[in-house]
A and B are shown apart, each in its own frame.
Chain A
Amino acid sequence: DTAVSQTPKYLVTQMGNDKSIKCEQNLGHDTMYWYKQDSKKFLKIMFSYNNKELIINETVPNRFSPKSPDKAHLNLHINSLELGDSAVYFCASSQVPASATQYFGPGTRLTVL
Chain B
Amino acid sequence: AQKITQTQPGMFVQEKEAVTLDCTYDTSDPSYGLFWYKQPSSGEMIFLIYQGSYDQQNATEGRYSLNFQKARKSANLVISASQLGDSAMYFCAMRRGSNYKLTFGKGTLLTVNP
| Interface, chain A (partner B; CB < 8 A) | 31, 33, 35, 40-45, 48, 50, 55-56, 58, 88, 90, 92, 94, 98-99, 101-104, 106-107, 109
Q: Do A43 and B100 contact each other (CB < 8 Å), given the known contacts A98-B31, A103-B47?
A: no
Whether A88 and B43, one on each chain, are in contact in the complex, defined by CB atoms closer than 8 angstroms, is yes
The A-B contact count (CB < 8 A) is 61
Whether A99 and B44, one on each chain, are in contact in the complex, defined by CB atoms closer than 8 angstroms, is no
- Please give me the residue from chain A that is nearest to B91 by CB atom: A43
Whether B104 and A104, one on each chain, are in contact in the complex, defined by CB atoms closer than 8 angstroms, is no
Given contacts A98-B33, A106-B43, 9 further A-B contacts (CB under 8 A): A33-B101, A40-B106, A42-B104, A43-B91, A92-B45, A94-B100, A102-B47, A104-B37, A109-B43
CB distance from B58 to the nearest CB of A (A): 15
Whether B107 and A99, one on each chain, are in contact in the complex, defined by CB atoms closer than 8 angstroms, is no
CB distance from A111 to the nearest CB of B (A): 14
Whether A41 and B100, one on each chain, are in contact in the complex, defined by CB atoms closer than 8 angstroms, is no
- Chain B positions within 8 Å of A45 at CB level: 101-103
Contact of A41 among B46, B50, B52, B106 (CB under 8 A): B106
CB distance from A6 to the nearest CB of B (A): 10
CB distance from A106 to the nearest CB of B (A): 5
- Size bracket, chain B contacts: 20 to 34
Bound-complex Cα distance A10 to B100 (A)? 27
Bound-complex Cα distance A62 to B103 (A)? 22
CB distance from B91 to the nearest CB of A (A): 7
Q: Is B89 an interface residue (CB 8 A)?
A: yes
Bound-complex Cα distance A76 to B43 (A)? 19
Bound-complex Cα distance A40 to B89 (A)? 12
- Chain A positions within 8 Å of B31 at CB level: 98
- Chain A positions within 8 Å of B95 at CB level: 98
